[in-house]
Structure 1
Amino acid sequence: MKMAQAALVAAIAAAVQFAPLTPLSAEEGGRPALMIEIDGAIGPATARYVKEALTTAGERRAEVVVLRLNTPGGLATSMREIIADVLGSSVPVIGYVAPAGAHAASAGTYILYATHIAAMAPGTNLGAATPVQIGGPLPGLPDSTPDKDGKDKKDDAKQPAPKDAMTAKATNDAVALIRSLAELRGRNADWAEKAVRDAASLSASSALQANVIDLIARSPAELLEQITGRTVEVAGGDIRQLATKGLTIERLDPGWLIRFLSVITDPNVAFILLIVGIYGLIFEFSTPGAIAPGVVGTISLLLGLYALNMLPINYAGLALMLLGIAFLAVETFNPTVVLGLGGIAAFLLGAAMLFKIQAPGYQLSWTVVIIAMAMIVSMTVVVLGSLWRARRNPARVGGQAMRGLPAEVLDWSGSEGHVFTHGERWQAHGAEALTPGEVVEVAGIKDLTLVVRRRSERTVSEGGV
């Protein structure tokens, strides 16, 4: 009897082990389908948004996360962060290039290759994954386009080696990354390499035929219907069979902090914050007690430095910019012309060198640089004009300002006495004998002693002390 029971248990266990998994319906599973959207250039804010969204999906035990892509590319550092988060996700991530007319270019292609299931909407494209962070095209790379005989058009004797070692290094690293992702997901690794080396692109239908993507779906609902029943391997080696048919998609929008981060990490905004911060502090130091310029300047400078810290910048360019601003500030208070011209040159050179990237959406606009430079130069010219006019006008303070003031004699003995002028009692000296109550004129000042004289007839006619 015991042997029969043991045999029955073993048979049931074997049946359970080898029976095909049946996906649960939306009502039975109870797990949500979440959607996160990448629209525009990929940067630090995008990477943080994806990380937080995948963390939320794991906490809520979501069935899948649909990562909708429409991007021209972005920063390689942020792209690698997103890829690492997708590969480490405990929730299946479905890459979906949509809507019609969207594209997943450059960094978007790498991310699509990293997702567990890759899909595209009709009328979309992907590719052009050549790294551009270190600048533009890849000179000297051999043409690997197949000829009519199916052989590559390679001729080592005729094709020169890459001229830029750093460009070749970055390209080979990008090729290794995208090939590893293709091999991990069972997709076309040869075309992936071609997308990096030759900036190749594919439409949705061509990508499906080339085994670059897994399916084409016209809408998110159709996407969920097509992937239901598919099995994927998530982080940790767990095998998941998807039960997505009939699920309602819930979109996860970025919070205010991520939206704010996406604004200040724009190179042009970071550049403007840096300029505002520096000149706010200069105004505060030149006019202590104004408070507002110091507060605004400090906040802007810290935000600008925080944004620059998250972007790949050239510190030599930043140093040149700061040196140029310092020269212009010194020129404002001590005109020399040479410092002003040197400051303008250093500022423009630093701005040109500041960002060592050419990724889409992360170029510093020369319009912003020229406008900022024009405002700085205009402010310098205005201040210099004010200083020049102040030098030409009569002195308003100090000993020079005392000349010509009327003074009333309080007491006098010989050639010395005391007079009252400018609201104060002064010791005075004069070459003439004066009488108390007489109104005289200040001719000068020497060692805190006024030199006085009798007033001229024209001055007397004006009258008053």
Structure 2
Amino acid sequence: MRKIIGEWFGVRRALSPAAAALLGILLSVLPNNAQTTHVALLLQLQGIVGPASSDYITRGLRTAAERNASLVIVQMDTPGGLDTSMRDIIQGILGSPVPVAIYVSPSGARAASAGTYILYASHIAAMAPGTNLGAATPIQIGDLPFPKDDQEKNDKDQAPKDGHGDASPMSAPANPMEAKAVNDAAAYIRSLAELRGRNVDWAEQAVRQAASLSASAALKENVIDIVASSVDDLLLQANGRTVSAGGNQIKLDTGALKLERLEPDWRTELLMVITNPNVALMLLTIGIYGLIFEFLTPGSFFPGTIGAICLLIGLYALAILPVNLAGLGLIILGLALMAAEAFTPSGVLAVGGAIAFIAGATILIDTDIPTFQTSWPIAGGIALASLALSLIIVRLALSSHKRPVVTGSEAMTRAEGEVLDWRGLKGHVLASGERWTATSETPLKKGQHVRVAGIEGIILKVEPDQTDGS
């Protein structure tokens, strides 16, 4: 567009300076979408697929679209992960106007479980020699072992269906919920296979029978497009291929692409930390206790400020994790009961709160992936620390209850004093370092020691001190 406008104005040199200035402004604001940076962005997807990796990949895809990159390469090595995070990544790939190549590498890496779905969704599916993919059964995401009896039975009854794949068969779903999950996952991966023109039957086999394939077998079975020894080899083999991205047919020109690595930023690193359920649980506990201490000692600000920050961060982390609301409710109830010991010391509330807290922490995260499970030692440690704090409060409350009163009107009862002056049944005494008006049922004399028998308003009732020998 710039070139056309420039040529058109170039043949009209008789235009006024104002028109030339207008041309300069127009050229400066015209979009430059027609130009490409001819760069390939390299992303890393290592480890469990979770909220942090999902955020990193989807933002990387948006960055590639904004920069008009020619290709996005995701170097992947994953045992699986959360279904929600996997689907977020796949939606980002399917909606990306920039072609995405998923490359399982280095040698020894795998695209198991959720990684298989992501690989099927990519525009270019590539693997390095010595890698594998498969085992995409929903209840096995995260490498959970099969029940021993079922596994042994399946190992005997079933064998690999061909020489390329290793069937890791699983038993039939034990209940309707498992059957529903397996059927949904099978339909999902079939749709991805049909969209990309890859092996549909093996995709379903990977879900229903937990089948796996090596890189060379996956290429032969039309599960992947390329077996590449390196990223450069991948770019070389992808050159000239035509893919459909963003509703357009794009012919890849990867011969002279500039490779640029996109590292995780502070946001991704923070998400990796706070989306650990144990960290989120500790933040939630600190937040609630911080607010409680602020209510107990209003005006200190520090506990309330720290507590509010930790509580909000903890709730944000739990909001992006598959949280069981019943577990979260039990945790909050347990913390509230243990905190209630500060107001109504009894010991029962503290013990009940600890039980509720541990039960809630056990079922807090609604997934079978070990990485996203709360740790028993950490949950128990938090519960014991809270219980100990509550019991300390109970002990302090009971010990203070047994101590004599040292302030107020009750503290004056049985206090000793000395008569300053007396006339009839009324006079003034010195008690607790202060001059009081006092009355007595018996006459007293100046200097006599007395003991306070009671108080009415600001007038003391006194009686002679029987222990005084004077």
The bucket for the TM-score relative to the shorter chain is 0.7 to 0.9
In 1, Cα distance between equivalents of 2:62 and 2:323: 30
**1:275 equivalent among 256, 271, 285:** 285
In 2, Cα distance between equivalents of 1:407 and 1:198: 93
Letter in 2 for 1:375: A
Q: Confirm whether residue 103 of structure 1 aligns to residue 116 of structure 2.
A: no
Percent identity for Structure 1 against Structure 2: 51
Q: Which moved more, 1:121-130 or 1:367-376?
A: 121-130
Q: Deviations over 1:306-358 (max 9, x none)?
A: 21121121111211222222222223432334333322222222222221111
Match of 1:218 in 2: 229
**2:273 equivalent among 263, 266, 274:** 263
For residue 457 of structure 1, report the CA deviation from its aligned partner: 6.4
Extract unaligned runs of 5+ from structure 2.
1-34, 164-169
In 2, Cα distance between equivalents of 1:277 and 1:395: 35
Question: CA 1:149 to 1:54, structure 2 compared with 1: closer, same or farther past 3 Å?
Answer: closer
Letter in 2 for 1:102: A
In 2, Cα distance between equivalents of 1:361 and 1:459: 80
Q: Confirm whether residue 346 of structure 1 aligns to residue 353 of structure 2.
A: no
For residue 424 of structure 1, report the CA deviation from its aligned partner: 4.3
Q: Confirm whether residue 326 of structure 1 aligns to residue 326 of structure 2.
A: no
**2:89 equivalent among 82, 85, 94:** 82
Q: Confirm whether residue 193 of structure 1 aligns to residue 204 of structure 2.
A: yes
Question: CA 1:390 to 1:178, structure 2 compared with 1: closer, same or farther past 3 Å?
Answer: same
> What TM-score, normalized by structure 1, do the two folds share?
0.82
Q: Confirm whether residue 372 of structure 1 aligns to residue 382 of structure 2.
A: yes
What secondary structure, in the 3-state scheme, does the structure 2 residue paired with 1:35 have? Answer: strand
Is the 8 Å Cα contact of residues 231 and 242 (structure 1) preserved in structure 2? Answer: yes
Match of 1:20 in 2: none
Match of 1:287 in 2: 297
Letter in 2 for 1:119: A
Larger relative contact order, structure 1 or 2 (CA cutoff 8 Å, min sep 6): 1
Is the 8 Å Cα contact of residues 406 and 440 (structure 1) preserved in structure 2? Answer: yes
Extract unaligned runs of 5+ from structure 1.
1-27, 151-158, 461-465
In 1, Cα distance between equivalents of 2:175 and 2:187: 19
Question: CA 1:340 to 1:149, structure 2 compared with 1: closer, same or farther past 3 Å?
Answer: closer
Q: Confirm whether residue 31 of structure 1 aligns to residue 42 of structure 2.
A: no
Q: Confirm whether residue 70 of structure 1 aligns to residue 108 of structure 2.
A: no
Q: Deviations over 1:212-244 (max 9, x none)?
A: 2222222222221221121111121x1111121
Query: What aligned pairs does 1:111-130 form with structure 2 within 5 A after superposition?
Result: 111-130=118-137
In 2, Cα distance between equivalents of 1:317 and 1:149: 45
**2:365 equivalent among 355, 361, 377:** 355
For residue 369 of structure 1, report the CA deviation from its aligned partner: 0.8
In 1, Cα distance between equivalents of 2:262 and 2:158: 42
In 2, Cα distance between equivalents of 1:405 and 1:331: 33
Is the 8 Å Cα contact of residues 350 and 391 (structure 2) preserved in structure 1? Answer: no
What secondary structure, in the 3-state scheme, does the structure 1 residue paired with 2:139 have? Answer: coil
Is the 8 Å Cα contact of residues 427 and 449 (structure 1) preserved in structure 2? Answer: yes
> What TM-score, normalized by structure 2, do the two folds share?
0.81
Match of 1:239 in 2: 249
Letter in 1 for 2:334: G
Q: Which moved more, 1:248-257 or 1:107-116?
A: 248-257
For residue 93 of structure 1, report the CA deviation from its aligned partner: 0.4
Letter in 2 for 1:230: R
**1:53 equivalent among 60, 66, 72:** 60
For residue 448 of structure 1, report the CA deviation from its aligned partner: 4.6
Letter in 2 for 1:44: P
- Cα RMSD of the aligned pairs, angstroms, is 3.1
In 1, Cα distance between equivalents of 2:462 and 2:63: 86
For residue 52 of structure 1, report the CA deviation from its aligned partner: 1.6
For residue 115 of structure 1, report the CA deviation from its aligned partner: 0.7
For residue 254 of structure 1, report the CA deviation from its aligned partner: 2.6
Q: Deviations over 1:264-284 (max 9, x none)?
A: 122111111111111112222
Is the 8 Å Cα contact of residues 75 and 133 (structure 1) preserved in structure 2? Answer: no
What secondary structure, in the 3-state scheme, does the structure 1 residue paired with 2:371 have? Answer: coil
Is the 8 Å Cα contact of residues 354 and 384 (structure 2) preserved in structure 1? Answer: no
Is the 8 Å Cα contact of residues 71 and 104 (structure 1) preserved in structure 2? Answer: yes
Match of 1:93 in 2: 100
Question: CA 1:415 to 1:116, structure 2 compared with 1: closer, same or farther past 3 Å?
Answer: same
For residue 94 of structure 1, report the CA deviation from its aligned partner: 0.5
Is the 8 Å Cα contact of residues 134 and 356 (structure 1) preserved in structure 2? Answer: no
**1:250 equivalent among 260, 263, 273:** 260
Question: CA 1:379 to 1:99, structure 2 compared with 1: closer, same or farther past 3 Å?
Answer: same
